[in-house]
Amino acid sequence: MNERRIQRLQEQIKQRLAEVLQRDIADPKLGLVTIARVELDAEFTICKAYWSVIAAGPGGEARAKAASSEALARARGFCQREVGKSLATRTIPRLEFVFDEGIGGGIRINKLLRELQQEREQKVPPADPGKPPQSPDLGT
């Protein structure tokens, strides 16, 4: 299949899937799920929808991930059917939900960088405004 067509279909599936999850799924265990990206294979048989979930509070991410994963597994058939209705293709790809670790990893890295910045700010003594800044001693 044409690469441009695959990209167009991936974006169409992503939008429709996000719409279905937001409007049509009434499962209280489904958290604030975001569809990060969709990958469609060249044969148009498998569609992997990468998702992430936003959880409030520390330690809530694991619980929200588990609950949302179960809810998505239960809703997979319905979502696949709804996405298939919106596609103008001969076949409907099998939908698979895959948790996207990338977003959570990025959030953790940002948190670590902020903590490192705060530690450095606490260790550096404030400069004396009346004294000119000293250049580092290069051993000359």
- Mean pLDDT throughout 18-27? 89
Q: Is the pLDDT of residue 83 over 80?
A: yes
Rounded mean pLDDT of the chain?
Answer: 84
65 φ, ψ (degrees, to nearest 5): -65, -45
* pLDDT confidence of residue 62: 81
3-121 CATH choice from 3.90.870.10, 3.40.1010.20, 3.30.300.20, 3.30.70.60 = 3.30.300.20
Does residue 104 have a pLDDT over 80? no
* pLDDT computed for residue 94 by the predictor: 94
CA separation for the pair 120, 116 (Å, rounded): 6
Distance CA 53, CA 31 (A): 6
